[in-house]
Amino acid sequence: MEPSQPALRWIEPDQPLPDPRKAMRDPDGLLAAGRDLDARRLLEAYRKGVFPWYSQGQPVLWWSPDPRMVLRLESFRITRSLAKSLRRVRRDGRWTVTLNEDFAGVMRACAEPRADQDGTWITADIVAAYCALHGQGNAHSVEVREDGALVGGLYGVSIGRMFYGESMFTRRADASKLALCALVHTLRACGFRMIDCQQNTGHLASLGATQVRREWFLQQVCELASMPAPDWKALAIEWPEV
């Protein structure tokens, strides 16, 4: 006989998020719902291996899927086309990569409508909450510019030596991949081991991301998030050599 499906829990602002192992199986990983979304709640969630994902008009939905998509940094794959792009931007002074210079701008770009999506989950409340987290030093952005114009980038959350990827965007071919490549290069140098990618996509799989069991992921989060964080203000991001 199949075990019973865990119930979706409603959490009030003064209540902690449930154990992620109690997430529902259908839909996979749905753990809880609530109304509060702020920097404090986000830090609690990421420390527990949980992230928010919901549409405009819905309550805040919290997720911890099983399996989980992660990118082990040593497994990051620089494809032939990406290597060609890296060589081009390294010799072409028109392209630059920066860290934390325009966090809000990257979030707004990630929220722009896309041809393959119906709307966006990056609502105004999401932008406000992550910008507050950025102000506390726990959310970071990578910006790729061509002739000074923002053409690609990504943002995510970092606690200790654990990085949680959230979203990326591109306005030029390979611009988001170049942002990720520069971030991986920087994180490796700082002793990070993986990036949380949350859910399986062919795009991430092509770059070396794989699915892991939630229990293993939670163990890694517990270890990596408890490590001392690097000094993000002192970090210099750059293109890796290929």
What is the bridge-based pairing of β-strands 162-170 and 194-198? parallel
Label residue 1 by pLDDT band (50, 70, 90): very low
Confidence at residue 113, expressed as pLDDT on a 0 to 100 scale: 78
- What letter does residue 75 receive in the DSSP assignment? G
Decide whether 9-67 matches 69-234 in CATH topology.
Answer: no
Average pLDDT of the chain is 94
Label residue 220 by pLDDT band (50, 70, 90): very high
Label residue 115 by pLDDT band (50, 70, 90): low
Residue 202: what residue type? G
Phi, psi of 60 (to 5 degrees): -70, 120
Confidence at residue 7, expressed as pLDDT on a 0 to 100 scale: 75
Each domain of the chain, given as residue ranges in start order, spans 9-67, 69-234
Q: Is the pLDDT reported for residue 2 higher than 70? A: no
User: Span 9-67: which CATH code?
Assistant: 3.30.70.3550
Confidence at residue 81, expressed as pLDDT on a 0 to 100 scale: 93
- Summarize pLDDT for 142-168 with one digit per residue, the tens: 999 999 999 999 999 999 999 999 999
User: Span 69-234: which CATH code?
Assistant: 3.40.630.70
- Summarize pLDDT for 34-55 with one digit per residue, the tens: 999 999 999 999 999 999 999 9
Label residue 117 by pLDDT band (50, 70, 90): low
Q: Is the dihedral of CA 63, 7, 120, 172 positive or negative?
A: positive
Q: Is the pLDDT reported for residue 5 higher than 80? A: no
Give the integer Cα–Cα distance in Å for 110 and 127: 10
What value does the mean pLDDT take over residues 60-89? 96
What b/e readout covers 63-79, taking b as 16+ CB neighbours within 10 angstroms?
bbbbbbbbbebeebebe
* pTM exceeds 0.85 for this model: yes
- Summarize pLDDT for 207-219 with one digit per residue, the tens: 999 999 999 999 9
Q: What is the percent of the chain where pLDDT is above 90?
A: 88
Phi, psi of 92 (to 5 degrees): -105, 110
Which range (11-20, 33-42, 201-210) has the least confidence?
Answer: 201-210
Contact 192, 162 (CB under 8 A): yes
Q: Is the pLDDT reported for residue 118 higher than 80? A: no
Q: Is the pLDDT reported for residue 174 higher than 60? A: yes
Q: Is the pLDDT reported for residue 119 higher than 60? A: no
Label residue 25 by pLDDT band (50, 70, 90): very high
